[in-house]
Amino acid sequence: MNAAALLTEAYRTGVPCPPLRGTHIPEGDVDAAYAVQREQVDAWLAAGRRQVGAKIGLTARAVQEAFGVFQPDFGVLMADAAVPDGAEIALDRLLQPRVEAEVAFVLGADLPEPQVTTVDVIRATDHLLPAIEVVDSRVAGWDISIVDTVADNASSGLFVLGTRPVRLSDVDLRLCGAVVEHAGEPVSVGAGAACLGNPLHAVAWLAATLATAGQPLRAGDVVLSGALGPMVSVTPGAAYEARISGLGSVRVCFGKEAV
Amino acid sequence: MTAELAERLDTAALTATPIPQIASRAGLDAAAAYTVQEQLVARRLARGERLVGIKLGLTSRAKMAQVGVDEVIWGRLTDGMTVADGSTVDTSRLIHPRIEPEVAFLLDAAGNATAVAPALEVIDSRYADFRFALADVIVDNSSAAAYAIGSWRPVPDGVDNLGVLLEVDGRVVQIGSTAAILGDPRRAVSQGLRLAGRVEAGWVLLAGAATAAVPLAKGAYVRAVVEGLGAVGVRAS
């Protein structure tokens, strides 16, 4: 099986596949990894699934250092990966989920220019929402390098958006505190600056990258801009609330393990 | 025996010379350790220093796990530990100083918080390699060494999730939130009152670290920025 088929099989069976680097994708060949991602996304779209935006990964310096790559990566968001605020996610929808608090940008204008500035992103942003990204890896044990995660849709799983839109001018995206709480305990804390210094910078990078690739961000797209604190491994049965200062809160819970 | 332990810790701090983990080796429990801490601070007061507040320690899950406890600890602050915002900390008098961003509360006589400010705390364990068990860190006055406080302002609604940046020479080195402090730093006020038993009007309460501490190197300019509260900075000489 090729890399895309292995990942597709992992989604279908719920059984993760071995790492792809070195065997199916050359180590460090990020372009080849994006081609593997594209092959899966094309199949999803052909099957009638709807793309609603994109996610940005590897935005924390500590994570970039761990991977030895000094740029973010991206994946796509599909409509059927959106989970309502507060809903319970059945564990069999995911393989090895983790949660993180993020800022979601909802665009009101296209971003077609390959040369993008922060001002372009500010002007194109319609509103922000607090978000929980449920990241997941189809690669066993999260044993991933840059090419493994890029090929695997940037380790995207599901996502939960808050429901109260906030204007960009009402939030300090650099200094805003972020916390994921579980049973009254902060299990991950951070701030806006953890995402490439400011989530706006991450969105500008994505806009430039996608415009260069001929698939620019469009009005209406949702962009998950990147984690504001460390990832939290999901405990079956647990509920998590993410709070971002100035943006409000959003929550999700997970089903218990099958008896 | 407690007086002897207090003297050894006092000498370690005065001479900037690390010592072994004497309290845990002596089998002290937490209550006995706080007695030693009181005697240690009494030696500072006898030299003319004045009590000006309290600090909390082990206020994050990560730090509690590191020491193997699930209880916060406290220490006593004296005027000899204060450093004015923007001024200098003399590291030559310290063993292996670390610095961390915090929030500080100003207390009234009843222990209510009347104001809040960004703060930097310099911690300096008197134990070799910064390694200690619970009793050790308690007798060591919870590693207190020095602290600086920014501008006071009225406590706003909701200080439970303010973003916190720690900068060294203008570069961000730690990122966190006040949520790391007991889930909400206001809980540090009630915990501090409970642990210390009494407070005085005008005392300062250092609520605990919002991020991991970083080594404080000679020559560094360190600044803490707290969302909505402003900033405070110190230079290490």
CATH number of the domain that residue A199 is part of? 3.90.850.10
The answer to pTM > 0.90 is: yes
Residue A71 is predicted with a pLDDT of 85
pLDDT digits (tens, 9 = 90+) for B190-231: 999 999 999 999 999 999 999 999 999 999 999 999 999 999
Residue B102, judged by CB atoms within 10 A of its CB (0-12, 13-18, 19+), counts as buried
Nearest C-alpha of chain A: how many angstroms from B62?
A: 9
Mutation target among A189, A240, A249 for the B interface, most CBs of B within 10 A = A189
Instruction: Give how many domains chain A has, as a whole number.
Output: 1
- pLDDT value of residue A258: 66
User: What pLDDT shows up at residue A66?
Assistant: 79
Q: The complex's ipTM?
A: 0.90
Burial A190-226 (b: 16+ CB within 10 A, else e): bbbbbbbbbbbbbbbbbbbbbbeeeebbeeebbbbbb
Residue A93 lies in a domain: yes
The percent of residues in chain B predicted with pLDDT above 70, rounded, is: 100
pLDDT averaged over every residue in chain A = 96
- Residue A64 banded pLDDT, cuts 50, 70, 90: confident
Q: Report yes or no on A86 lying in a domain.
A: yes
**Mapping DSSP to helix (H, G, I), strand (E, B) and coil, where does residue B138 land?**
helix
Q: Judge: B179–A172 Cβ closer than 8 Å, yes or no.
A: no
Query: What span, in angstroms and rounded, lies between the C-alpha atoms of A250 and A86?
Result: 7
Q: Are strands B73-78 and B82-83 parallel, antiparallel or unpaired?
A: unpaired
B165 touches chain A (CB under 8 A): yes
User: What is the amino acid identity at position B215?
Assistant: P
| Residue in B61, B178, B183 closest to A177 by CB | B178
| Site from B103, B177, B187, B227 to mutate, A interface, most A CB atoms within 10 angstroms | B177
Residue-range domains of chain B with CATH: 2-236 (3.90.850.10)
Contact (CB<8Å) A189/B165: no
CA distance B41 to B39: 5
In a domain, A188, yes or no: yes
- pLDDT > 70? residue A255: yes
Q: What range defines the domain where residue A249 resides?
A: 3-254
Nearest one of B78, B88, B72 to B10, comparing CA atoms: B78
Look at residue A259 and tell me if it is in a domain. Answer: no
A74 domain-assigned: yes
- Whether residue A257 has pLDDT greater than 90: no
pLDDT tops 80 at residue A82: yes
Q: Residue A203: inside a domain, yes or no? A: yes
- Give per-residue pLDDT as tens, B138-162: 999 999 999 999 999 999 989 999 9
pLDDT reported for residue A222 = 98
